[in-house]
Amino acid sequence: MKQEITRFAPSPTGHLHLGGARTALFSWLFAQKNKGKFLLRFEDTDKERSKKEYEESIISSLAWLGIEPDEDPVFQSKNIELHRTVALRLLESGNAYSCDCSPEQLNEMREKQIEQKMQPRYDGFNRDKNLPHKEGNVIRFKMPIQGKTSFEDKILGTISVNNKELDDFIILRGDGSPTYNFSAAIDDQEMKITTVIRGDDHITNTLKQINIFKSLEEPIPNYAHLPMVLSNTGKRLSKRDGAVDLLDYKKSGYLKEALINYLVKLGWTYSDQEIFSKEELLSLFTLEAVNSSPAKFSEELINFYNNHYINSIQIEDLYQLIIKEYDVSYKIDSNIHYLEILKLIREGSKTLLDLINQMQFFYETPQYEEKHKDFIQTNIEIISVFKENISTLDFSDLKMLENNIKEFLSSKDLKFPQLGKPLRLILAGRENAPSISQLLFFLGYEESLKRINLFLTK
């Protein structure tokens, strides 16, 4: 049985985004599931826009996710001589032809077709002229005129197009440089790719490339086209909707496990299961289970997964990850309860940066909003009474501290919110914070007293 070989073929003209990362993940999972190979190819023939920094960024993004190619990356620009040789071979065999149509002729052709409400395409003007090839001419591939080009897509099912709808596309430009569709097909052949997994915006390219394989009498790969990832409004993803550099998710405090889980759920399902380990994905993943409808980006869902994995990681490992990867303005382990604080605050944290920010008030005196200052002042008498009794509280044990507070409230005939609301604002600088017993315990006697005195000494 032939070994499965897949590839991920980005252009190094930008960073890796969610859509590309999903394609790479699905290609990698499919290869791993079938004990095959996953290869990486940089389609870097756009010399002006292709940059080394983007190559490195894409490799780093894939490595962070744990998606490692089984061989060194292939660079399309290094295969240009091969592409030219094959193009000239197709010209000699009659599967391609030389074309000297000027830009003006092509524009005129296009305008007439639009005027007649026809699909703009090359009309085959030079197809049967057998023009001698010379410098400045392009080489066009001879698409079949009769019949259909069809293939069985592993996700979308049967795809078939009448050949008369496909034009004779350029495979070699006038300057001798090969075009994308031709280069990609030849590289897939050279790399012995058995299954091409990519976005459904490549379907037209696939129809062209299939005919290139046929003309060369080479095996045609299997194809699986992934429906696009759209924004919540159904439009193409923009940066505002999540189409950002994948490493920005890492910098923002997303865990790779959350990203992998989220990416695979962008179109793939298994029963009603939501959380998958990498081992489960390698066991369960199939292309046939990928949805044929577009997936929609959801910040809420990606945050759900990230919160799940932040709360699943061992607390000491979480601490080590934070101090290794992030610049924190305070020394986390300067509080003897730092692991307990981490465990408490992570429950409601969306990202690691969110967690770091949420913990900050335990280490640095918070900034108080004017409305909070006003509220505290209106309840300053209760706070003053509490301060007079704070030395009687047991700060060595959280449970005892909780009981002490209940006893204080009962002895003063106070309801919990009367003390809780202003005291929480004093200790944490915000309304949404842990319980006052937790705040007092983790801050400790001296720091708690210091913050209370900020308002009592005014």
pLDDT at residue 390 above 70? yes
Residue of 15 and 244 predicted with greater confidence: 15
Q: What is the pLDDT of residues 216-231, one digit of tens each?
A: 999 999 999 999 998 8
Q: What is the pLDDT of residue 238?
A: 63
Cβ atoms of residues 219 and 45 within 8 Å: no
The predicted model gives 157-183 an average pLDDT of: 94
Q: What is the pLDDT of residues 264-301, one digit of tens each?
A: 999 999 999 999 999 999 999 999 999 999 999 999 99
The predicted model gives 402-425 an average pLDDT of: 95
pLDDT at residue 39 above 80? yes
pLDDT at residue 243 above 80? no
Distance CA(208)–CA(227), nearest Å, equals 19
Length of the chain: 458
The predicted model gives 30-43 an average pLDDT of: 97
Domain ranges (residues) in the chain: 5-71+229-300, 76-182, 313-359, 370-456
Q: What is the pLDDT of residue 293?
A: 92
Q: What is the CATH number of domain 76-182?
A: 3.90.800.10
Window from 12-16, 46-50, 157-161 with minimum mean pLDDT: 46-50
Q: What is the pLDDT of residue 240?
A: 61
Q: Residues 378-396, buried b or exposed e (16+ Cβ, 10 A)? A: ebeebbeebbeeeeebebe
Asked if CATH classification 3.40.50.620 holds for the domain at 5-71+229-300, the reply, yes or no, is: yes
Q: What is the pLDDT of residue 263?
A: 95
Q: Provide the strand spans (E) within 207-300.
A: 222-226, 229-230, 295-296
Q: Which CATH number fits domain 370-456: 3.40.50.720, 1.10.10.350, 1.10.3720.10, 3.40.630.10?
A: 1.10.10.350
Q: What is the pLDDT of residue 231?
A: 81
Q: What is the pLDDT of residues 118-134, one digit of tens each?
A: 889 999 999 999 999 99
pLDDT band at 47 (very low <50, low <70, confident <90, very high): confident
Cβ atoms of residues 353 and 306 within 8 Å: no
Q: What is the pLDDT of residues 300-359, one digit of tens each?
A: 999 999 999 999 999 999 999 999 999 999 999 999 999 999 999 999 999 999 999 999
How is residue 130 written in tokens?
């057998």
pLDDT band at 234 (very low <50, low <70, confident <90, very high): confident
Using DSSP's 3-state secondary structure scheme, residue 29 falls into helix
5-8 β-sheet, strand order: 5-8, 37-42, 74-75
The predicted model gives 91-101 an average pLDDT of: 97
Q: What is the pLDDT of residue 20?
A: 94
Q: What is the pLDDT of residue 198?
A: 96
- For the chain, the average pLDDT equals 94
Using DSSP's 3-state secondary structure scheme, residue 5 falls into strand
Q: What is the pLDDT of residue 45?
A: 86
Q: What is the pLDDT of residue 457?
A: 81
CB atoms within 10 A of CB 294: 14
Q: What is the pLDDT of residue 105?
A: 95
Alpha helices in 267-379 (DSSP H): 278-284, 299-312, 315-325, 338-346, 352-359, 370-378
Q: What is the pLDDT of residues 364-380, one digit of tens each?
A: 999 999 999 999 999 99
73 DSSP assignment: P
pLDDT band at 239 (very low <50, low <70, confident <90, very high): low
Q: What is the pLDDT of residue 458?
A: 63
Measured between alpha carbons, how far apart are the two ends of the chain, in Å? 82
pLDDT band at 87 (very low <50, low <70, confident <90, very high): very high
Q: What is the pLDDT of residues 426-444, one digit of tens each?
A: 999 999 999 999 999 999 9
Q: What is the pLDDT of residue 444?
A: 96
Cβ atoms of residues 229 and 49 within 8 Å: no
Q: What is the pLDDT of residue 119?
A: 86
226 DSSP assignment: E
Using DSSP's 3-state secondary structure scheme, residue 238 falls into coil
